Every structure is written in C-alpha cells, then in structure tokens.
Amino acid sequence: MTDTSSSAAESLHLKFCGLSLTSPIVLLSGCVGFGEEYTRIEGFSNRDAGAVVLKGTTLAARLGNPAHRVSETAAGMLNAIGLQNPGTAHVIERILPELDFSETRFIANVSGSTVEEYAEVTRLFDDSPIDAIEINISCPNVKEGGVAFGNYPDMSAQVVEACRRVTGKPLITKLSPNQTDIRENARRCIEAGTDGLAVINTVMGMAIDANTRRPVIGNIQGGLSGPAIKPIALLKVHQVYEVARKHGIPIIGQGGITTATDAIEFLIAGASAVGIGTALFYDPMVCRRVNAGIAQYLREHGIASVTELTGTLRI
C-alpha cells in the first residue's frame, strides 16, 4: 500500500460509541442477512464496511409475513419481511461463531413485541461476542393494540431503559420517521440511556396492482427504502443532530445512500457514520466506491479525517 492510499484509508477511521471503525460505512440490518450472505460474491469483503448490522432478531424464531414481501418502486423498494429469523439462541450459538470479528464490527439488531422481549433478547446478546446492539423500536407493541413502539416517545424510552438495564454494550436506537416529532423521540431515547442513534428507519408505504386491484405486498403496507427517501432522511438527520450534539451522541445517517456524494451529504447534515442498505441489492460492491469517493473528497478539501465533516452544514 502506498503512503497516499494508506493516508486515505486512515482518513476514514473513526470512533463510534467507543468502537473503532475502519470506515464510516455501516451495512444495514436486513440487507446482508447475518453477515454471511455477501461473502459468496467474488470480491466482496466485510472489511469494506466499518460495521455490519445483523438481521433483526426476536426471542423465538419467526417465519415472517406472507408473500409478496418485496416490491420495486420508483427510485426504491417496499419490503415487509416480517422479521423472519431463527431466534436469538440460534444466532448466538450457531451464527456468531462463524463470523470473522477481525474483519469488521458486528452489531445485533434486537426486535420484539413487548418491552420484556426486547430486554431478554438484549440480555442474551450481552453475553455474546457481539460488538454493539441496535434496538429496532419500529416493531408493533402487542400489548397496546399493535401500535409501533418507535412512533411514541414514551414507549421508545421504555424500551431503551429496559435494554440499558441488562447490557453494558453500546446501544444504538433506530428511530422511525413515521412519527410527529423525531427530535422529542431522540431526546427521550438519549435520556433513557442510548449511546447512539440510527436515523432513519424505512418510511411506510404501499403499492397496488391495478389489474387485480389488490395490494402488491402481502402485508398490505411495507417499508419504503432507497433513493426515494433520501431527502426525508437528510432532514431527519439534521433535526436529530440538533438534539444529539448537545449530549455527544453520534448518529448513523441512512436512507437512500448510493454514492459517495450521498454519504458526504449525510455527514455534513450531522451523521458520524452512514448506513448503506438498498443499494447493495443491485451493486454489492458499492462500499468500495463510496469509501474511495469520501477519501477523494477529504483530500480535495484538505480535510484530514472524516470526523471533521460531521455537522458542518452552513446555514
């Protein structure tokens, strides 16, 4: 490796919630399975990402939603997988031992239908090699008629508090855009003990087959991701950063990132790291291009480290 390439690589290093990341890129939950799916693609390496978030995991195994689960849309896609997963015990006992923790950081994604389930899954992951835990608070609360935990600050805070009590690992709370005031939710999650925030989760939407007059997605509604939601995600990162910076809480900015320029915009808006998900489905090697583009931008603007870009929006 030349001095130039070595310097470029070092410029991408950062600390996130106490974890050392070799790149600001985080591979998002549900897009790389349990960290092994893309290793079958020639040339792909988990080393191209600073961290990998594993597929959403519940206490017991789940089969997920009925088909169809995925539908392409203009500039994005809808998905309603329904948290299909083999359960926490299987992930810890069978999957984690197969992951190469020398390649990158691995983050568990914890999901549940009750506060108690979130806490139990978090407790089990606390006694595992996992590097950090992401809390998916967009799940429906079965005790409250199916309303999503993440759309109400009080319920979001309850989940974070419960998880905080049972783990010393870094906690990252994934915030939903499908709520009235994301800033208030962020504030409550920070007060409840989260170490970081992931902004944003998918935007709810639907698709209709005009010929059959039926919903395309078996679950009727699904989460919209991809470039279509990028402007929404950028605004939400900017809004949450106003709250998070006061408490020193870092943000993973995510939603429609497909290029280095996209990633740079999220960093400027207030993100410390950036999440890539939908782009991986049609360009598995996107991370290398994004890393190279960020490094080039830093060189051209005389910026020594990617961390210096965070929150530099000029208003």
Over residues 143-185, the pLDDT tens digits come to 877 778 999 999 999 999 999 999 999 999 999 999 999 999 9
The answer to the question of residue 314 being in a domain is no
Band of the pLDDT at 4, cuts 50, 70, 90?
Answer: low
State which residues form the domain around 72. Answer: 3-309
pLDDT at 1: 44
What global pTM score does this model have? 0.96
CATH number for the domain spanning 126: value is 3.20.20.70
Query: What residues are labeled active site?
Result: 139
Q: How many domains does the chain have?
A: 1
Read off the amino acid at residue 174.
K
The answer to the question of residue 79 being in a domain is yes
Strands 25-27 and 273-276, by their bridges, are parallel
Over residues 221-230, the pLDDT tens digits come to 999 999 999 9
- Which residues, at least 6 apart from 104, have a Cβ–Cβ distance to it below 8 Å? 22, 46, 47, 49, 50, 51, 52
Read off the amino acid at residue 29.
S
The answer to the question of residue 287 being in a domain is yes
The answer to the question of residue 315 being in a domain is no
d(CA 189, CA 194): 6
Nearest to 76 by CA among 232, 299, 260: 232
Over residues 119-151, the pLDDT tens digits come to 999 999 999 999 999 999 988 777 877 778 999
The distance from CA 295 to its chain's CA centroid, rounded to whole angstroms, is 22
The answer to the question of residue 209 being in a domain is yes
